[in-house]
Amino acid sequence: RIFNRTGGTLLVGAGIATVATRSGN
């Protein structure tokens, strides 16, 4: 349960970071 929340947050955070990096570049 907690793992699912943490994993989901990390995945979403990584996705946002990737998009932000792409937009920045």
Q: Residue 22, by phi and psi: left (phi above 0), alpha (psi -120 to 50) or beta?
A: alpha
3-state helix, strand, coil in the chain (%, to 5): 90, 0, 10
Whether the predicted pLDDT of 18 surpasses 80 = yes
pTM (whole model) above 0.85: no
Amino acid of residue 16: I
The better pLDDT of the pair 5, 15 is held by 15
4-14 pLDDT, tens digit per residue, is: 788 888 889 99
